[in-house]
Amino acid sequence: MRFNILIGGRAGQGINELANILSRVFGKAGFYVFNYRDYESLVTGGHNFNILCISDKKVGSFDYKYDVVLALNKETLEIHRQNFHKNTLFIVNFSEGKDNFIFLNANKDKTENMAFATALCKILGIEKNFLLDEVKKRFAGKSMLEKDIEVIEHFYSKDFEKEIKVSHEKTIKIVLNGAEGVSKGAVLSGIDIYFAYPMTPATTLLNFLAKEQDKIFFAYTPEDEISVANAGVGASFAGAKAMVGTSGGGFDLMTETMSFQGMTELPLVVYLAQRPGPSTGVPTHTGQQDLLVACFGGHGEFSRVVVAPGNSKECIEKTNEAFYLAEKFGVLSIVLTDKHLVESDFSFNEFRIKEIKIPERKIKLGMPGILFRRSSYEHDANWNNSEQISDIVESFEKRLEKHKMLEKEVKKLEMYKIYGKGKDLVIGWGSTKGAMLDALDSLDARFLQIIYMSPFPKEISGFIKNARNVFVVENNATGQLSKLIAQNTGFIVEDKNKILKFDGRPFTPQDIIDELKKRGVK
């Protein structure tokens, strides 16, 4: 049973943090939880909201039908009115006098949000200690902690005359944010350097990594994206494991450097967090519109890895794999994510991570007695610049051979995942996985999640051949994955079978179910 909670208010009211705290508390209490964050391109004011979907079953999405609303301002009630139902419960801190409204009458200070959190937990029957523990851990040493604890104790002792039972498991669920997953994957892989230029929605990763820093690696924001990318290559040249991060527009600026990487074959991991484009687009919303530029951006011909995780646990594993492949083959590894993936929190029952040990470099710049050289020019086997036919051909053949070895190696990793049963096949990638899996319970179909985009798992032809109908679900307008499928398997997805959403918002399971049923899927 899915239960949706809306938390809404102005930017600056601490909505995201409140949702963050609650999602961890729900996880501790045994709920599966999915936390969706929605915010505008401004600093204070406007309207921000989070939707928490909790359940006793795995949940990777939310629904636009709210069972409880925490309205931190009146505007929230106006903006979301279409999504309330007759039993929606409202928790507010202004007197409304209506049925289904709980007026907190809390102090309008920095502890206000804690009153909201407590009331919600009390009404849902969640043990006080779960909330206290989370708050104590999060705000340890902070001056507000005592006041927050007071507020929690006070509001737990109140009787709200409302009790909602939402079934849940007993075992703790691990709650993990998407960007946090990438951060853990990078640290796990022994990252030495992270460079990025501020750009939504990639910046959250920088914040997570900055917390993990502690004299293990160095993170910095150089003057522009071109610096970021070149500094990444430079750090790699000096023997460091380097990652750079950006969104679509910044990646465009880096493409010359991607080509530089292709020629110099210095390992480099790129974190690309997509948002809707083209151009400045819609900075704080989500899209899957940069798949092709991730796979092909950068002039000339050179090998690369593009991997698209679908939830925060996959973010850890695929980032680790990206570092592994970059180091092993001197290849560019792009971890392709989007706002919905990196800003959302996912929950997991079990958390065993398949870790791959990163190979150490045997020869490094600075070792006495060796000349360590790289060039952006075409070159001979000793990295002397060259225009000779034999050198050019030999160089190219080496790089083509390397790509073949990369293709072989990637086959050992999970390049795709297949779920469900049924004659129809639905193909998707990245952050649509959550809604897709949640929808699958109501569908007689299989879901094929493509994880590796480059090299591409050509063997999916098998699934396509055996399917009655093939659908592709994507957050873009031109069906970019369909194009990759056509290129790699020869199969053309019919236009009417492309389910495309490009309004900057993620799919809900209902969206997918409606669209598929319209097209004859049972």
Q: How far is the CB of 240 from another protein (least distance, A)?
A: 3
Asked if 52 interacts with another protein (CB under 8 A), we say no
Q: Which of 267, 372, 373, 270 is nearest to 327 (CA)?
A: 267
3-state secondary structure of 51: strand
Q: Which of 73, 94, 154, 222 binds another protein (CB under 8 A)?
A: 222
- Applying CB under 8 A, does 435 fall inside the site for another protein? no
Cis ω before 278 (30° cut-off from 0): yes
Question: Strand pairing of 268-274 and 242-246?
Answer: parallel
Distance in angstroms (rounded) separating the CA atoms of residues 38 and 223: 29
235 part of the interface to another protein, by CB under 8 A? yes
Report the C-alpha gap between 483 and 474 in whole angstroms.
Answer: 12
Q: Is 236 in the site for another protein (CB under 8 A)?
A: yes
Site for another protein in 384-413 (CB under 8 A): 384-385
Using the minimum distance from each CB to another protein, give the nearer residue, 218 or 463. 218
Smallest distance, Å, CB 106 to another protein?
A: 44
Binding mask 7-36 for another protein (x = CB under 8 A): ------------------------------
Single residue of 227, 312, 320, 431 touching another protein by CB under 8 A: 227
Q: Which of 466, 460, 467 is nearest to 486 (CA)?
A: 460
Residue closer to another protein by CB (options 304, 446) is 304
Print the binding letters for residues 182-211 with another protein: x by CB under 8 A, - otherwise.
----------xx-x----------------
Q: Which stretch binds another protein (CB under 8 A): 9-17, 57-65, 78-86, 232-240?
A: 232-240
Q: Is 496 exposed, middle or buried (0-12, 13-18, 19+ CB in 10 A)?
A: exposed
Of the pair 140, 363, the CB lying nearest another protein is at: 363
Stretch that binds another protein, among 125-133, 225-233, 285-293, 497-505 (CB under 8 A): 225-233
Q: How far is the CB of 388 from another protein (least distance, A)?
A: 11
Q: Nearest distance from residue 283's CB to another protein, in Å? A: 23
Q: Please report how close the Cβ of residue 339 comes to another protein at its closest, in angstroms.
A: 27
- For position 300 contacting another protein by CB under 8 A, the verdict is no
Closer by beta carbon to another protein, 229 or else 305? 229
Contact window for another protein (CB under 8 A) among 220-228, 280-288, 319-327, 474-482: 220-228
In this structure, are residues 27 and 18 in contact, taking their beta carbons and an 8 Å threshold?
A: no
Give least dist CB 242 to another protein, A: 7
Question: What one-letter code names the amino acid at 308?
Answer: A
Told to check if 226 binds another protein by CB under 8 A, we report yes
Q: Residue 492 has what DSSP assignment? A: P
Return the beta strands (E) in 223-353 as ranges. Answer: 242-246, 268-274, 304-307, 332-338, 345-348
Which residue lies nearer to another protein by CB, 157 or 384?
A: 384
- The angle that helices 389-410 and 312-329 make with each other, rounded to 10 degrees, is 150
Which span sits near another protein by CB under 8 A: 16-24, 236-244, 412-420, 491-499?
Answer: 236-244
Residue 386 Ramachandran class (φ > 0 left, ψ -120 to 50 alpha, else beta): beta
Decide: 470 and 493 in contact? Cβ < 8 Å. yes
In the complex with another protein, which residue's Cβ is closer, 216 or 418?
A: 216
Residue at token pair 């900075």: 283
Q: Of 156, 218, 296, 348, which one interacts with another protein (CB under 8 A)? A: 218
**DSSP reduced 3-state for 226:** helix
Q: Does 267 bind another protein (CB under 8 A)?
A: no
Q: Smallest distance from the beta carbon of 390 to another protein, in angstroms? A: 15
Site string for another protein, 348-377 (x = CB under 8 A): ----------------xxxxxxxxxxxxxx
Applying CB under 8 A, the site for another protein has a residue count of 44
| Region of residue 262 (left: phi > 0; alpha: psi -120 to 50; beta: else) | alpha
Q: Which of 16, 257, 319, 431 binds another protein (CB under 8 A)?
A: 257
Handedness of CA 506, 510, 514, 517 (dihedral sign): positive
Q: How far apart are CA 339 and CA 114, in angstroms?
A: 27
Q: How far is the CB of 224 from another protein (least distance, A)?
A: 7
Residue 500 CA to chain centroid, in angstroms? 19
264 binds another protein (CB under 8 A): yes
Q: How far is the CB of 266 from another protein (least distance, A)?
A: 9
SS3 512: helix
User: Residue 357's Cα: distance from chain center in Å?
Assistant: 23
- Kindly state whether residue 141 participates in binding another protein, applying the rule CB under 8 A: no
- Residues in Cβ contact with 285 at an 8 Å cutoff, skipping those fewer than 6 apart: 275, 276, 339, 504, 505
Side-chain half-sphere of 365: how many Cα atoms within 13 Å?
A: 11
Which one, 224 or 459, has the nearer CB to another protein? Answer: 224
Q: Contact with another protein (CB under 8 A): which of 224, 444, 494, 514?
A: 224
- In this structure, the number of other CB atoms found within 10 A of the CB of residue 157 comes to 10
How far apart CA 444 and CA 306 sit, in angstroms, is 30
Q: How far is the CB of 51 from another protein (least distance, A)?
A: 40
Q: Which amino acid is at 396?
A: F
| 215 binds another protein per the rule CB under 8 A | yes
- Of 49, 67, 51, residue with least CA distance to 13: 49
- Rounded to an integer, what distance in angstroms lies between the CA atom of residue 447 and that of residue 425? 6
* Chain contacts with another protein (rule: CB under 8 A): 192-193, 195, 215, 218, 220, 222-224, 226-228, 230-240, 242, 256-257, 260, 264, 364-377, 384-385
